[in-house]
Amino acid sequence: MVTERAREFDTQDLLINVGPQHPSTHGVFRMVLEVDGELVKDVIPYIGYLHRGAEKLCETMDYRQGIGFMDRTEYLAAFNAELSYVMAVEELAGLEVPERAQWIRMILCELNRLSSHFMFLGAFGVDTGVMGTPFIYGWREREMLIDLFEEISGDRMMYAYFRPGGLAWDVTRNFKERVREVIKSSAQGIKDFDGLFTENEIFVARTKGIGYISAEDAIDYGMSGPSIRASGVPLDVRRDEPYLKYSEVDFQVVTGQHGDVFDRYACRLQEMRESIKIIEQCLDKMADTGPIMPEKMPRMLRTPPGEVYMRTEAPRGEYGIYLVSNGGNRPYRLKVRSACLSNLQALKQMSVGLYVADAILVLGSIDIVLSEVDR
Amino acid sequence: MKGIARSLMTTLSTFSRKPVTRDYPNVHKPLPERDRAFPLLLWDQDIDEPFCTGCHACERACPVECMTVLMKDNPNHKTVGGTSTRRKIIDKFWIDYARCMRCNICVEVCNFDAIAMNNTWTGHEMSVHDRKDLVIDLQGLLAQSRAGAIKEWVPVLGQTNE
Amino acid sequence: MTSEEATQPVPANDFSGTIWAEVDRALSGITARPEAGVKDVIVHIPRDEVIAGLRRLKADAALHFDYLRCLSGIDREADGIEVVYHLYSTDKKHNLTVKTTLPMDDLNVATATTVWRGANWLERETAEMFGVRFTGHPDPRTLLMPEDMTDVHPLLKSHPLAEIEVLQGEGMGYPEEGA
Amino acid sequence: MPAADLLLSNYVAVLLATIVGFILVLTALIAARLLAPYSQETGKSTTYECGMVPLRRASTNVGMRFYLYAILFVIFDVEAVFIFPWALTFVEVGQFAYWLMVAFIAILALGLGYAWKKGALQWR
Amino acid sequence: MTTSLWGMDINVWANAAIRLQIIVLVMTVVVMGLIWAERRILGRFQQRIGPQKTGPFGLLQSVADAVKLVGKEDLRPKNADPWTFELAPFLVFIPIFMGFVVVPFIAGWNISVLELGLLYFVAISSVNIVGWVMAGWGSDNRYAMIGGLRAAAQSISYELPLVLSLVSVAMFAGTMNLDEMVRQQAAVPYIVWQPMAFAIFFIAALAELNRAPFDIPVGESEVVGGPFVEYSGIRWSMFMLAEYAGLFIMAIIGASVFLGGYIWPFGEELGRGWQLMLISAKAGLIIFVVFWIRASLPRLRIDQLMGYSWKVLLPLVLLQVLVNGLILVNGWSEVILGVTGLAGVVALVTITGRAANRPRSILARPAAVKVEAA
């Protein structure tokens, strides 16, 4: 009798399904939270809702056809994804990219980083509970950037603009003025976000000290991008293994100290300012005219047998392309190393022991793109 | 409280700015020349026939296999008393817009500049109730160019300005 | 990034200027065969010793490969399946590729989660895509595929691509309607 | 009209407001029942669970640190009930009434402090 | 029993019924107006336009919404508890509606003048939380359940600061008759003498109304709408109606008790038109600030919210009551009241700022929870 009564009044852990259709899962991510009252005791993530087999598909496509699929693996920063892919092909085929094309690629990638981070700030702001305002701020600036991308590449998200060897076609004639115009507006957007969040007591109280991950754990989990830099690990492919012309520009690798949600937010915000600095330097150093493709390009690109693991710094972290060729005009094996997949692994470590509301913020702070996680 | 006041002032400053949204179905944003909607075929106004000869180049290059091309002998060819120099001409052409991923490869591989990406709003506003209605046939693909309602931009791979 | 580098691989026995010497020292007692890659040095280690080798590469003070960049598989058809580990050192800033080959009839290899926790999901993905079994894996569920789809391994070369449904042309229709 | 009647007549409105409010909601519900479509489809009547089949019934015993707050609330609400009549009359009664209330609030504040120190105010 | 309405003697029941009918109309129109205004104002804060298609400036948007909601299928989950689920909208809406009885719109335009109007108001305004908990529990939905429990915890915690801040004003006014209180403010509104009480009233009112930044029970990013996640169509609109009617009442009460209601600064002579303008302007200002805050501030976390009420607001407002008593019982000048109130506001601001910016401490994990490899 006593035990029965005890069981009747025992509290039970509640399993809460967050996702795949939940307002704050940033796509089709599902996690089951085991909560005791409001405290998260366990997190079980489920991914794969957006798995399309891009790797397998690319094995049947020649190198040019694969570009479109790479766009779709990382739809918020498609230039960065394309870049990784075409550079992997160039490494294998031994193509020399004209200097001007490299500068243009670099500008576009940094602009894409800006647009991706604006998206993060907007979505993260909504996660913290501001009614829509950050989202519109983010989209306002992103729209300016996307308009520019559309003028150059013709598409707003899936650019298909980088090609092995260079670029598909040249940029528009008023490219430099337009970029200057856009980064000016982006600077205003960063200022708005800074004013809205950085000092706001409620935001600070909500984000500081939660979602902590130590530098050792972050390295162990293979995290990358702003998520690991917030823990104080200065890991940045742009600086450590410079590609394009990153060795010729001056920028700082932004790191945090506390490894918490606020630092991940602050790192991204600061990183955007660094991106603007990089773009300004690129604009100064870039020639107005010049070739954007090597003079002799085969009609159908073939690569010698071999393999290369090409990594670049995408907005969410290290975006790697492991390309294995057996001498044909198509990849023998293509593996996309997704930054979000590795970052997402640390979710449990970061959110166990927090409140439910904090777990949502932690998920928001690692800025996942599910199409990249699932590919 | 200082930070809260700062956020309130930030939102207040946007309160006084001009709205950034567009009244979409009534006001369309001007599309850039390079805008890519879906591919369509171009009409040779001089000879009054399509540029396309049905050479299958685009069909072979399409990564998503959204095109179907059939060619035929040109009934308007000079040898049979016509005005055209094209020996072969397109007979039937279908593009499944539901599958097309707008990668522009078909435009790049075309040897006759016969295909271009639609850069008008007509190409974007294509919602239908059935996927089958997104399979466009030759007449549909040519209609816009035939009516002169498109200013095509055919990019050449790696072309520079000028 | 010059064309010579790529088209003329370095002779198989010349690894001066690479970290192979260091790796060789660290891996003493473990069978390891170097190969020149386009960007990184590749080290082949037999399956039974690969985890011990990886652990030693991580622990070695001069190499200190503490960061697992990527873990993937390659289906070499008749030659079996290669499991590839891309390593990186966050403080020494150098890279290494480690490969181990599994014969097609025995796709077992010890798990690397004991070396890097980050290998967890990457191994789960490789396992379901190639049918490799990582023995000792703490959580051997499927990652991207449905939970009951454990017998299908899509990235194997023997696995066919799905047919593209034909929807075009005259008499078009969905396959089940009889095109 | 006697004062008591006047007082009561003022509360007539309260009674009527309850009834009118009830009727208002009821009319809306009836209107919806008449106007809204209704279809017997089982899928619609499952609980929203982010698109998944519900894991198990939600009404389990959940350990919210809720009862401590409820008790604290009852204590302080009783205090509020005492303060209300006091607030209107203490000026006339004078210093004695004031210091009595000070003592009363002080005792409660001690209790609050104790609860605070014991960590009862830490929501989990 | 008779009373007078428009100069005529009329039965009290008929009088109350007529006045209530007018309130029903006014409430409906005002609530629709508020929803429209909120969407337009939020839109402007976010550099959007807001509703604009239905009628001039989208004014008829709420009408369109109402029509749509009436025509929407009214679903009840099959696991839901029928009685609690069906009754919850009644219990959410009726108490709010009953609150209208004492609202002093302008002189002579209230439904009824209760001697204990303030007490009645604070008593009735917290009853609707029962409806919220019923909705949360009855839906058999995890989010609704958590939302309902949060709503209950939040409501009872902020009830006390709200009540006590009003008590401190009542002490000063010496009455609980709202009409009488407004009339006393002909020269100086009470906010001058009781600034901290107003600040606490405003904060607690936001929490009672579940408005940002205290919209934890309904937080979309966590509990997807909270207690009314399973409600659809007209039943859902009852929750909305109650929310905005509550906002309307709270704004008018706040304007009446602290900002001089319909009387300050013009007095009673200028006629009803001016009085109406005054009360609309004051209540409108409060409502605008509520919308503004919603557009700008993130949501608090539940423990911070509870802590803020019990550890900051409650001690401060108790102190205010005692200080008020000390000054009034000794017959000291009112200026001292104002000064102490201002000091209280400074204290409130400082404590809030320090609580938010305390040094980062990694949240201690409960010992029972062990983190192993993911």
> Cβ of A132: how many Cβ atoms within 10 Å?
17
In a domain? residue E19 = no
User: Per the structure, how many domains does chain E have?
Assistant: 1
In a domain? residue D51 = no
Q: Could you read off the pLDDT tens digit of each residue along chain A, which spans 375 residues?
A: 445 555 555 666 778 888 787 877 777 888 888 887 778 888 888 888 888 888 888 888 888 888 888 888 888 889 999 999 999 998 888 888 888 889 999 999 999 999 999 999 988 988 888 888 888 899 889 999 999 999 888 888 888 888 888 888 888 888 888 999 999 999 989 988 988 888 888 888 888 888 888 888 888 888 888 888 888 888 888 888 888 888 888 888 888 888 888 888 888 988 898 899 999 999 998 888 888 888 777 777 888 888 889 889 989 888 989 989 888 888 888 899 888 888 888 888 888 888 888 888 888 888 888 888 888
Contacts of E199 in chain B (CB under 8 A): none
3-class state of residue A308 by DSSP: strand
3-class state of residue A36 by DSSP: strand
Q: Are C74 and A60 a contacting pair at CB < 8 A? A: no
CA C163 to chain centre: 28
CA C141 to chain centre: 19
Distance CA E237, CA E230 (A): 12
What pLDDT does D83 receive? Answer: 83
What pLDDT does A276 receive? Answer: 92
Shortest distance between the Cα of B67 and any Cα of chain C, in A, equals 8
Report residue C5: phi and psi, to 5°: -55, -40
Query: What residues does each domain of chain A span?
Result: 2-374
> Cβ of A314: how many Cβ atoms within 10 Å?
30
In a domain? residue E258 = yes
Angle at E355 between CA E351 and CA E356, to 5 degrees: 120
For A43, the enclosing helix (H) or strand (E) is strand A39-46
- CATH code assigned at D94: 1.20.58.1610
No. of H helices and E strands in chain E?
Answer: 15, 2
CA D30 to chain centre: 28
Q: Are E292 and B8 a contacting pair at CB < 8 A? A: yes
The domain of B140 spans 31-146
- Mutation target among D46, D55, D57, D62 for the A interface, most CBs of A within 10 A: D62
In a domain? residue D94 = yes
Asked if residues B96 and B135 have their Cβ atoms less than 8 Å apart, the reply is: yes
In a domain? residue E292 = yes
What pLDDT does E113 receive? Answer: 77
Type of residue at E192? V
The domain of D106 spans 63-124
DSSP-assigned letters across all residues of E25-57: HHHHHHHHHHHHHHHHHHHHHTT-----SSSGG
What does the DSSP 8-state code read for residue A338?
-
Shortest distance between the Cα of E49 and any Cα of chain D, in A, equals 31
Bridge partners of A154? none
Surface-to-core class of residue A75, CB atoms within 10 Å of its CB (0-12 exposed, 13-18 middle, 19+ buried):
middle
Q: Are A16 and E143 a contacting pair at CB < 8 A? A: yes
In a domain? residue E56 = no
**pLDDT tens readout for residues C146-160:** 888 888 888 888 888
**pLDDT tens readout for residues D26-60:** 888 888 888 878 776 777 777 777 767 766 665 56
Distance CA D21, CA D27 (A): 10
User: Per the structure, how many domains does chain B have?
Assistant: 1
Asked if residue E12 has pLDDT above 80, the reply is no
What pLDDT does B7 receive? Answer: 85
3-class state of residue A5 by DSSP: helix
Distance CA B61, CA B84 (A): 27
Closest CA in chain E for residue A196 = E296
Closest CA in chain D for residue A8 = D61
pLDDT band at E6; cut points 50, 70, 90? low
The domain defined by C3-177 folds into Beta Polymerase; domain 2 (3.30.460)
No. of H helices and E strands in chain D?
Answer: 3, 0
Which of B83, B81, B85, B91 is closest to B55 using CA atoms? B91
Shortest distance between the Cα of B8 and any Cα of chain E, in A, equals 6
Asked if residues E266 and A101 have their Cβ atoms less than 8 Å apart, the reply is: no
Q: Are A14 and D62 a contacting pair at CB < 8 A? A: yes
In a domain? residue D124 = yes
**Percent of chain E's residues with pLDDT above 90:** 4
Q: Could you read off the pLDDT tens digit of each residue along chain B, which spans 162 residues?
A: 778 888 888 888 888 888 888 888 888 888 888 888 888 888 888 888 888 888 888 888 888 888 888 888 888 888 777 777 888 888 888 888 888 888 888 888 888 888 888 888 888 888 888 877 888 888 888 888 888 888 877 776 666 654
**pLDDT tens readout for residues A229-253:** 888 888 888 888 888 888 888 888 8
What pLDDT does A145 receive? Answer: 92
Q: Are B101 and A150 a contacting pair at CB < 8 A? A: no
Asked if residue E7 has pLDDT above 70, the reply is no
Helix axes E233-258, E61-70, angle to 10 degrees: 140
If you count them, how many residues does chain E have?
374
Residue with tokens 């295909």: B115
**pLDDT tens readout for residues D57-97:** 655 666 556 677 777 788 888 888 888 888 888 878 888 88
Contacts of A48 in chain C (CB under 8 A): 142-146
Bridge partners of B44? B49
Half-sphere exposure of residue B162: CA atoms within 13 angstroms, side-chain side: 5
Bridge partners of A14? A35
Which region holds residue C17: left if phi is over 0, alpha if psi is between -120 and 50, else beta? left
What pLDDT does E217 receive? Answer: 84
Asked if residue E361 has pLDDT above 70, the reply is no
- Mutation target among A131, A133, A142, A220 for the E interface, most CBs of E within 10 A: A131
Extract the tokens encoding E22: 């007018």
Residue with tokens 């069978």: C31
The domain of E169 spans 72-354
Query: What residues does each domain of chain C span?
Result: 3-177
What does the DSSP 8-state code read for residue B84?
B
CA E29 to chain centre: 18
In a domain? residue D68 = yes
User: Per the structure, how many domains does chain D have?
Assistant: 1
Q: Are E71 and D35 a contacting pair at CB < 8 A? A: yes
Consecutive 10-residue runs of chain C (179 residues): their mean pLDDT?
A: 43 68 80 80 87 86 87 87 89 87 87 88 89 87 84 84 64 45
- Mutation target among E38, E42, E46, E57 for the B interface, most CBs of B within 10 A: E46
The predicted complex's ipTM stands at: 0.85
Q: Are strands C133-135 and C108-110 parallel, antiparallel or unpaired?
A: parallel
Type of residue at A181? E
What pLDDT does E289 receive? Answer: 92
What pLDDT does E2 receive? Answer: 64
pLDDT band at E172; cut points 50, 70, 90? confident
Architecture in CATH of A2-374: Orthogonal Bundle (1.10)
Distance CA E317, CA E170 (A): 13
**pLDDT tens readout for residues E187-199:** 888 888 888 889 9
Helix axes E272-296, E195-208, angle to 10 degrees: 70
CA D9 to chain centre: 26
